[in-house]
Structure formats: structure tokens, C-alpha cells
Amino acid sequence: MSAGAGIIGKGIVIKGELHGEEDLIIEGRVEGSIALRKHLIVESTGVVMADVQTENITIKGEMNGNMIASDKVEITADARVIGDIKAPRVVIDDGARYRGNVEMVVQLPDGI
């Protein structure tokens, strides 16, 4: 997580499309779609009702939408998640509530 991460605070509600090149921390509510280059963190107070495409996703709060990550999706113990996941690495902590499908997409070297 870079020091210049954007933050959507607890009292903020955003509806629409979010696009960005940097990390994003969501403490409020986002509805729509999210496309980032780096890391998305949904904090324990965060609610995301969106499809997400990014490098890494860490969910500590509530997420409802499909996720595509080029590196990793992590769902922590207190998270509540509904949606399909496509990522090479997926971590679901004990106690997390998750409903959806997981597709472990791994890039194989050429020639295999």
C-alpha cells in the first residue's frame, strides 16, 4: 500500500464508475464499478456494491460484486462477500462469510 492511497471516508457515498492508477481505501459506500491498477482495500466500515478489476483486493467489510484480480484477493475473518472471484491467489480467512465461485487463474509460461 503506497503512502499516496486515496480514501473514500465513512460518510461518503459514491455511485458510478471509479477508475484509478493508485491504491484506494474504501471506508464508506461505493455502488457501480471499480477499475484500479493497484490495491483496493474495503475497510470494516466499507460497503461495496460493484464489480471490481484490479491487482490486489483486501476485503474487511462488505462486498457484493464480481472480482477480477491479477495477483490476489484476500477476504478477512469479519468480511461479508457475495460474488465470483477470478485471481491466481485467493485467501479466505476462517470466519469470513463468502458466497460465490472461485476461479484460480494462473498464467503458465509459454510452451506449457
Question: Residue 71 belongs to what domain range?
Answer: 6-104
Using CA atoms in the order 14, 55, 85, 95, what is the torsion angle rounded to 10 degrees? Answer: -80
In a domain, 41, yes or no: yes
Model confidence at 3, pLDDT cuts 50, 70, 90, reads low
Establish if 27 belongs to a structural domain: yes
Confidence of residue 112 (pLDDT cuts 50, 70, 90): very low
Only one residue has cell 471506508, namely: 27
Residue 6 grid coordinates: 486515496
C-alpha cell recorded at residue 87: 485471481
> Higher-confidence residue: 43 or 107?
43
What is the dihedral sign for C-alpha 43, 8, 41, 86? positive
In a domain, 69, yes or no: yes
Contact at 8 Å (CB) between 65 and 46? no
Within-domain flag for 34 = yes
Sign of the dihedral defined by the CA atoms of residues 32, 48, 51, 24, in that order: positive
pLDDT score at 20: 92
The model's pLDDT over 69-111, given as tens digits with 9 standing for 90+, comes to: 999 999 999 999 999 999 999 999 999 999 999 999 766 555 4
| For residues 58-66, average pLDDT | 98
Please report whether residue 109 resides in a domain.
Answer: no
pLDDT digits (tens, 9 = 90+) for 15-35: 999 999 999 999 999 999 999
pLDDT at 6 over 80: yes
Q: Is 111 left (phi over 0), alpha (psi -120 to 50) or beta?
A: left
Structural domain count of the chain: 1
Quote the pTM value.
Answer: 0.89
